[in-house]
Amino acid sequence: RAAEWQLDQPAWSGRLRITAKGSTAFIKLEDKTSGELFAQAPVEQFPGIAVEGVTDSSRYFVIRIEDGNGRRAFIGVGFVDRGDAFDFNVALQDHFKWVRQQSELARQAQDLEQGPKLDLGFKEGQTIKLNIANMKKKEGAAGNTRPRPAGPGGLSLLPPPPGGKSGSGERPASLPTPARLPGTPITDSLLSWPQPTAAPAADVWGDFAKASG
């Protein structure tokens, strides 16, 4: 019980820090000015005998300090502020929660290593079957493509136009003879093409007949 302690006359006052090395947490009591270590309590399990709360207050604890030479002692510590006592508890809980998680991960990894391993290698005489039907279909479609026969001079022969008759001796109707304009003879040696229907000579020349020269 903290009420049995001489709370008005503490034997020592300073600051408290919690550090960790591996899975062990260390409660360190240090001088609040110089930081010199007064005592420390290694904690390997929480809750445990290394740190215990009192029965009549949430701000006071009993911790087991060690000097590194095998000597141990139990002392009472307390916090002036209740929030600091809460942070003290949470810091220890978080550390050992992390320790448990690491232990669980290590155990799962060990189980995986010891479990049967999946062998994906080929056994002697073992074969696999690949479905290449689509590949064969594409290759066959490409092989059926044949070039069109070429005529003399490398020109491709095209099929007759719709409605045409091959070998019947009939010739397509010739294009109408282009209209001849007065004074503009068209010889057979010139290339002719369909011309628009010409108007009467008088309309074609129009006012040009009246121009001088």
What region, left, alpha or beta, does residue 34 occupy, with left being phi > 0 and alpha being psi -120 to 50 degrees?
Answer: alpha
What is the number of other CB atoms lying within 10 angstroms of the CB of residue 3? 10
Rounded Cα distance, 165 and 167, in Å: 7
pLDDT at 91: 94
Q: Which domains does the chain have, with CATH numbers?
A: 2-114 (2.30.29.30)
Rounded Cα distance, 107 and 109, in Å: 5
User: For residue 47, is the peptide bond before it cis, meaning its omega torsion is within 30 degrees of 0?
Assistant: yes
Query: 119 vs 141, which has greater pLDDT?
Result: 119
CB under 8 Å to 11, separation ≥6 — which residues?
none
For residue 98, pLDDT over 80 is answered with yes
Query: 168 vs 48, which has greater pLDDT?
Result: 48
Rounded Cα distance, 85 and 134, in Å: 74
- Annotate 48-63 with DSSP letters as a single string: BTTEEE-SS-SSEEEE
For residue 189, pLDDT over 50 is answered with no
For residue 181, pLDDT over 70 is answered with no
Cα torsion angle, 190, 196, 200, 203, sign: negative
